[in-house]
Amino acid sequence: MELYNYIKSLHLIFVITWFAGLFYIVRLFVYQIEANEKPTPEREILLNQYKIMAYRLWYIITWPSALLASFFAFWMLFFSKIGNAWLHMPWMHVKLGFVFLLYLYHLKCHQIYKQLQNDTFKYTSNFMRLWNEGATIILFAVVFLVILKNELNWIYGVVGIVLFSILIMLGFKFYKRIREKK
């Protein structure tokens, strides 16, 4: 049991650093896109700096954290009695579905990262601000599922996540209007 708690602690630490990396990389995407609209030489200076920052964040923090969080999760699920029992519970299936979505989100961020490193700008900074909320929604969903666990509560939690997502979208539209007025 004591080893399990160490593994669970390491899993949680790497989940936190993974999300921190995902939140910040998309913020760097916003900065890179906006820097690309600046005049020379400011544009080149900023883009070079953001590329260095993004590279370090992505390969030194975010990818290793994703892999280590997953490694410790597999360890808990497949090599402990507690985790193995969780695999048969409906809330865990839903959680693993959200983890799958998180990996899809991560891989899309990797694709965007590669594009920006090659000076290919396909998205607007407003799109990236909205894209950044994807990880937030997944984080809320997973935390509620893990804490509430029973079927009725996690269903309310998922409905709450949908409502939370709608509030985020409305907040984004409001923020966009404020930015456009300035």
Q: Kindly indicate the confidence band of residue 59, based on its pLDDT and cuts at 50, 70 and 90.
A: very high
Binding-site residue set for heme: 11, 95
pLDDT at 160: 78
How many domains does the chain contain in total? 1
Mean pLDDT, rounded, for 38-57? 97
| pLDDT score for 57 | 98
DSSP 40-74: TTHHHHHHHHHHHHHHHIIIIIIHHHHHHHHHHHH
Give the CA-trace dihedral at 115, 121, 124, 125, to 10 degrees.
Answer: 70
Domain that holds residue 118: 2-181
Which of 115 and 95 is assigned the larger pLDDT?
115
In whole angstroms, give the CA distance from residue 57 to residue 12: 19
Query: Which of 64-73, 122-131, 165-174 has the highest mean predicted lDDT (pLDDT)?
Result: 64-73
CB 105 within 8 A of CB 134: yes
Residue 10 CB partners (closer than 8 Å, separation 6+): 68, 72
Residue range 2-32, pLDDT digits in tens: 888 999 999 999 999 999 999 999 999 999 9
Query: What's the token pair of residue 46?
Result: 């900023």
Q: What rounded mean pLDDT belongs to the chain?
A: 90
- Mark the binding-site residues, compressed into ranges: 11, 95
Say how many C-beta atoms besides its own lie within 10 A of residue 22's C-beta.
Answer: 26
Question: Could you tell me which residue, 9 or 78, shows the higher pLDDT?
Answer: 9
- What confidence score (pLDDT) does residue 60 get? 98
Taking only the tens place, the pLDDT of each residue in 100-152 is: 999 999 999 999 999 999 999 999 998 998 899 889 889 988 887 888 776 55
N-term to C-term CA, the chain: 57
Look up residue 38 and give its DSSP letter: S
Please report where in the chains the tokens 């080149």 appear, as a residue: 44
Q: Decide: helix, strand or coil at residue 88.
A: coil
> In percent, how much of the chain has pLDDT > 90?
59
Which residue shows structure tokens 């409905």?
159
Task: Name the H helices within the chain.
Answer: 2-35, 42-56, 63-78, 81-86, 90-117, 125-148, 151-181
